[in-house]
Structure formats: structure tokens, C-alpha cells
């Protein structure tokens, strides 16, 4: 963005968020001391200035909103090009609103409070999808899909659509992509080679310790492992790696073994062990000093030459994607095997909010992202000849003089939109990438609760109360800021007081009912 006032405003907002987070940590430390004595959230999400859109009737304007870590400088140019295309297709224009994830809930909350127009909004199982539905924020889509989105139904497997239903109704349309994930660590390839690091010896997260020590000693100006309070090895490996989170609120299902008992994740030995490891690494200086308050992208930290590694969810071709996003070669270590949960199937969807002015045209626009290769690739990669060129083999590359660091349109979010299998592959990607996706889906281990969608409505107050407790305690545990053996007992006590047991019991009740009705084979049975 070029508007200096907006930049200054965003900087002030960022400072305020950091101060608030630091204040919360100070309060937690004080609360911990008292408890022990007594027992012996600049986002770069503002609208791009100078966005050029063709002049059309205001009634035909559609607003597309999704999370993104950057607002590309050439977004106004791409938006204008999309609108020239859409005028002939839909007699409509689209306004693209990327929102930084750190302020997503504030911005979307304001949308619903003010009734601001948003016609298509990103959602996901890991982004409170069930809770958003229970609040009445998304429109049911079955009739709209039948009337204005038949092309989507021809692309998506009916089982995939079924997994995004709540109470038998469709509220989100999943992106056609991979429907599984493995978890692991992404590392700078140049430093792995420089220090002769043998990644084949890293089979568990604890095995990464000596690697981080090597980097700390050899590259003292570099952060060995970049983490955030919402993105660390603890969150990635535990959440939908070793446990199925079963939607919003406390209550998870352990991946290993055959148990169908819903448990409190923070009460498990696995959680405690990972939290201990994070604190050990924090004390050894392996993590960034501002981990508990940082909202900066790990990719940007690597791109800036400030970090060596970070945790992430993975899929076929992920190393190339990470290399493109950071602007330097990256390698990955897989620490969990591919796993498919309802959250993976619903990991990228678009919904039509109740604040939509034009729901039918919104569905028609969404359908084009599944059926129209030209429009999809314009949104994914920008303008041909300016942001990419098509090679004779059908893959794309940067134009002469442009690279991953200098390209001016760089959302790099092809997994988010429409039919990803229609998106261009880059010249350094495997030409068989989409076939690899299909095999990845087939080989993934399915969760015992695959297809189960938790309805949080009966315990929404308790979930909100538990969420507030999580916001107070989780950041310090996830980033190794405090001793988990001291903090976790108080954390569990506070969760219990907030109603965690009631939420867990409700999840268990719904899961048992879903299983009794036939589980995944029940189709649109109780969820």
C-alpha cells in the first residue's frame, strides 16, 4: 500500500497489539504466582489504495474476502483485468479484499456487526466453520448450488460436499485440491547443505534439537526456528496431526489406537511433552524472542534472511511452494504421515455470508472458479506476460527480470480457490503434481471421525468461555515462554471452570450419535 497515513495507522495498531499481548503475558505471570502461592489479538488487510475497477452498476459489485499474508502491489491491476473479464460473463465486478490473518476475526466481526457487504468469504474447519454456521453467519447453499452452481457439482465428489454439511445443510463449498495433510518442519536448503545436516535422522520433533543447535552456533544472527503463538511445532503436529480436533472447543480424538473417547488435549501427556520441548528450546535460544507476541509471517522471516526453519502442514510439492513463497530453496522433513479428517476435507471453502447483496451472482462467480481456467489463473497468478509466462509444456515461469522476491502479484494461494487442478503448475513443479494429489488422498489414513461435523450451538457459551481461557494460557505454552509443569495445572483448572467438561461431553454425545447412525455411511445423518 502506498498511503502513508494508512501505513502509520497500521504501525500504531501493530504496536498496540504487541503491547496488549505483552500485557496479557504479564497478567498470566502474576496469576500463576498467585495460584501457586494459594495451592502450596500493521495488518496488511486494508483495501488497496487506487484499486481500479470498471464502471458498472453498484448493484453488480461482488465482494470477495479471504485471509492473506500480503496485499500484492499489483492487486488493483489484476482486479481490473478480472472485472473486464467478468463484465462479459456475469455483468458484474468483483472487489478483492485480502485480510491479514492476525486481524481476521476483528474484520469479519465488524462485517456482521455493521452489515457490510461481503458476497464470498473464505472459511474452513480450522477457522471456526461450525461456530460461524451456528451463529447464522452463512447462508444455506443447497438451492443456490442447484440453481447457479451446477458446474461445481460436476467437479466435486459428492462425498466431499457431504463432509461440509452441518445438520444436513450445505454451508461451504470446498476447494477441489488435496484432502489430507502431513505435518513437519521446513528448512533452508542452503544451510542444510552448508552444515551437512542429515535430515534422514530427524524422525521426531525432538530429533530436530541438534539441528537447531548447529544453526544457533554457526549462524548466530539467524533464528533457528521461527514460531508464533498460533503457529508452532506444538500446534501443527498436535492439531490434526496426532489428534483430530473435532471442530471448535475442547475435546479431541487421539489418532493412534482405536479409542473413540473424546479427551481434553491440554490434559494429555503428549501435550505436556511437546510444551516441555518448546520451553527447552526457548531457553536454549532456538526460538525468536518475540514468539509470544509476533504476528509476522514465517515465510517473510525466511525471505528477509532472519530465520532458518518453521513448522507447517504439508502435501505433495510443498517444498517447491515454500521455496516460491520464501524466495529461496527450502526442504521439508515430514514428522507425521498423511491424515484425513473432516477439517482437512473442509480446510479451504467459500461461504456466502448473510450480508451478501447478490447471493446468486456470488454462486455464479464461485462456479467460474471451478470451471473457467482463465479466470482461476488470473486470480491465482496474475496477468500473463506481466506476472508469469506460459512455457511450451504448459507450465509457467516468471518473466525475464522477475523472480519470486520481485514479482508484484504474489498471493501464492492456489489451494484456496475453486478447482486447484485447473491452476497452472510452475516450471519447477512436477508435471504429475495433480496425479500425486490424487494418490496422496488415496493413501492418507482416515480419521475415525471422518465426516463428523460438530455442532457447537448447544455449548456455544462454554466454548466462548474456554476460548478466552485459551487466549490467556496457550500462547505462553505454545511458544515455550513459561514452564508447562507450573502452568498446565492452572490452565486445566480454568478450563474446567469455563465449562470444558460440558463441551467435551457434548462432543462425545454427538460423536456417539453419529457413529450409531452409521458414521460416514450415514451421509446426512446427525452431525
CATH code of the domain covering residue 79: 3.40.190.10
Query: With b meaning 16 or more CB within 10 Å and e meaning fewer, what string describes 379-393?
Result: bbbbbbebbbeeeee
Residue 363 grid coordinates: 454462486
Total-model pTM: 0.71
Q: How many structural domains comprise the chain?
A: 2
The answer to whether residues 144 and 359 touch, using CB atoms and an 8 Å cutoff, is yes
Strand, coil or helix: what is 350?
strand
Residue 276 grid coordinates: 516441555
**Sign of torsion, CA 436 439 443 447?**
positive
Rounded distance between C-alpha atoms, residue 443 and residue 131, angstroms: 30
What angle separates helix 484-498 from helix 500-516, to the nearest 10 degrees?
70
Residues 208 and 308 in one domain: yes
Residues 167 and 215 in one domain: no
Domain boundary among 341, 360, 379: 341
358 lies in a domain? yes
Domain boundary among 419, 446, 473: 446
DSSP-derived pairing of the beta strands 173-174 and 61-67: unpaired
Domain boundary among 420, 446, 472: 446
90 lies in a domain? yes
Rounded distance between C-alpha atoms, residue 281 and residue 488, angstroms: 18
Residues 325 and 194 in one domain: yes
433 lies in a domain? yes
How buried is residue 119: exposed, middle or buried, by Cβ count under 10 Å (0-12/13-18/19+)?
Answer: buried
The answer to whether residues 485 and 242 touch, using CB atoms and an 8 Å cutoff, is no
Residues 353 and 239 in one domain: no
Rounded distance between C-alpha atoms, residue 4 and residue 9, angstroms: 9
Residue 233 φ/ψ, nearest 5 degrees:
-55, -35
Which residues in 379-441 belong to E strands, given as ranges? 389-390, 396-397
Residues 226 and 268 in one domain: yes
Residues 213 and 354 in one domain: no
Q: Which residues are registered as beta bridge partners of 384?
A: 388
pLDDT in tens, the chain (527 residues): 434 333 334 444 444 444 444 455 555 555 455 454 444 433 333 333 344 444 444 448 999 999 999 999 999 999 999 999 999 899 999 999 999 998 999 999 999 999 999 999 999 988 888 889 888 999 999 999 999 999 999 999 887 888 778 878 999 999 999 999 999 999 999 999 999 999 999 999 999 999 999 999 999 999 999 999 999 999 999 999 999 999 889 999 999 998 999 999 999 999 999 999 999 999 999 999 999 998 889 999 999 999 999 999 999 989 988 998 899 999 999 999 999 999 888 999 999 999 999 999 999 999 999 999 999 999 999 999 999 999 999 999 999 999 988 999 999 999 999 999 999 999 988 999 999 998 898 889 999 998 898 888 899 999 999 999 999 999 999 999 999 999 999 999 999 999 999 999 999 999 999 999 887 554 443 33
The answer to whether residues 367 and 150 touch, using CB atoms and an 8 Å cutoff, is yes
Residues 226 and 307 in one domain: yes
Which residues in 336-481 belong to E strands, given as ranges? 339-340, 349-351, 389-390, 396-397, 445-446
324 lies in a domain? yes
464 lies in a domain? no
Residues 142 and 196 in one domain: no
Q: How far apart are the first and last CA of the chain?
A: 44
Residues 242 and 317 in one domain: yes
Residues 240 and 331 in one domain: yes
The residue segments making up the domain with residue 395 are: 60-177+347-446
Residues 188 and 320 in one domain: yes
Rounded distance between C-alpha atoms, residue 136 and residue 372, angstroms: 31
Residues 212 and 335 in one domain: yes
412 lies in a domain? yes
Amino acid at each position: 500500500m502506498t498511503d502513508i497515513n494508512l501505513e502509520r495507522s497500521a504501525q500504531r495498531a501493530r504496536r498496540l497489539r504487541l503491547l496488549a499481548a505483552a500485557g496479557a503475558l504479564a497478567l498470566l505471570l502474576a496469576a500463576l504466582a498467585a495460584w501457586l502461592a494459594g495451592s502450596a489479538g500493521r495488518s496488511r488487510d486494508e483495501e488497496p489504495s487506487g484499486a481500479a475497477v470498471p464502471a458498472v452498476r453498484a448493484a453488480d459489485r461482488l465482494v470477495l474476502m479471504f485471509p492473506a499474508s500480503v496485499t500484492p502491489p499489483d492487486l488493483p491491476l489484476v482486479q481490473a483485468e478480472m472485472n473486464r473479464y467478468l463484465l462479459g460473463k456475469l455483468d458484474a465486478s468483483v472487489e478483492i479484499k485480502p485480510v491479514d490473518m492476525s486481524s481476521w476475526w476483528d474484520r469479519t466481526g465488524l462485517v456482521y456487526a455493521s452489515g457490510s457487504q461481503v458476497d464470498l468469504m473464505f472459511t474452513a474447519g480450522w477457522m471456526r466453520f461450525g461456530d460461524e454456521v451456528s451463529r447464522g453467519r452463512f447462508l444455506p447453499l443447497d438451492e443456490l448450488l442447484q440453481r447457479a452452481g451446477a458446474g461445481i457439482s460436476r467437479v466435486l465428489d459428492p462425498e466431499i460436499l457431504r463432509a461440509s454439511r452441518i445438520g444436513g445443510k450445505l454451508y461451504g463449498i470446498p476447494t477441489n485440491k488435496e484432502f489430507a495433510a502431513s505435518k513437519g518442519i521446513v528448512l533452508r536448503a542452503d544451510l542444510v547443505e552448508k552444515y551437512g545436516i542429515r535430515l534422514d535422522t530427524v524422525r521426531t520433533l525432538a530429533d530436530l534439537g541438534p539441528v537447531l543447535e548447529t544453526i544457533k552456533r554457526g549462524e548466530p544472527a539467524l533464528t533457528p526456528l521461527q514460531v508464533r503463538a498460533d503457529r508452532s511445532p506444538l500446534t501443527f503436529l498436535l492439531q490434526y496431526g496426532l489428534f483430530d480436533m473435532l471442530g471448535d472447543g475442547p475435546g479431541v480424538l487421539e489418532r493412534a489406537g482405536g479409542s473413540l473417547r473424546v479427551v481434553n488435549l491440554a490434559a494429555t501427556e503428549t501435550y505436556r511433552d511437546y510444551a516441555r520441548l518448546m520451553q527447552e528450546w526457548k531457553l536454549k535460544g532456538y526460538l525468536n524472542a518475540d514468539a509470544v507476541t509476533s504476528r509476522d509471517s514465517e515465510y517473510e522471516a525466511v525471505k528477509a534472511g532472519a530465520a532458518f526453519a518453521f513448522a507447517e502442514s504439508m502435501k505433495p510439492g510443498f517444498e517447491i511452494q515454500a521455496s516460491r513463497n520464501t524466495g529461496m530453496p527450502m526442504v521439508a522433513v515430514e514428522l507425521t504421515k498423511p491424515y484425513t479428517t473432516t477439517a482437512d476435507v473442509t480446510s479451504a471453502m467459500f461461504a456466502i455470508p448473510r450480508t451478501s447483496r447478490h447471493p446468486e451472482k456470488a454462486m455464479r462467480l464461485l462456479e467460474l472458479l471451478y470451471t473457467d481456467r482463465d479466470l482461476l489463473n488470473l486470480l491465482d497468478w496474475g496477468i500473463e506476460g506481466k506476472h508469469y509466462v506460459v512455457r511450451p509444456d504448459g507450465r509457467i515461469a516468471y518473466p525475464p527480470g522477475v523472480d519470486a522476491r520481485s514479482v508484484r502479484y504474489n498471493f501464492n494461494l492456489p489451494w484456496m480457490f475453486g478447482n486447484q487442478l485447473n491452476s497452472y503448475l510452475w516450471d519447477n513443479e512436477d508435471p504429475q503434481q495433480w496425479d500425486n494429489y490424487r494418490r496422496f488422498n488415496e493413501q492418507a489414513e482416515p480419521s475415525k471421525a471422518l465426516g463428523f461435523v460438530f455442532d457447537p450451538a448447544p455449548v456455544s457459551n462454554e466454548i466462548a468461555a474456554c476460548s478466552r481461557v485459551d487466549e490467556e494460557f496457550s500462547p505462553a505454552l505454545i511458544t515455550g515462554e513459561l514452564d508447562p509443569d507450573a502452568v498446565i495445572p492452572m490452565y486445566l483448572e480454568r478450563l474446567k471452570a469455563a465449562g470444558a467438561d460440558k463441551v467435551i461431553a457434548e462432543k462425545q454425545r454427538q460423536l456417539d450419535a453419529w457413529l450409531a447412525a452409521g458414521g460416514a455411511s450415514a451421509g446426512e445423518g446427525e452431525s
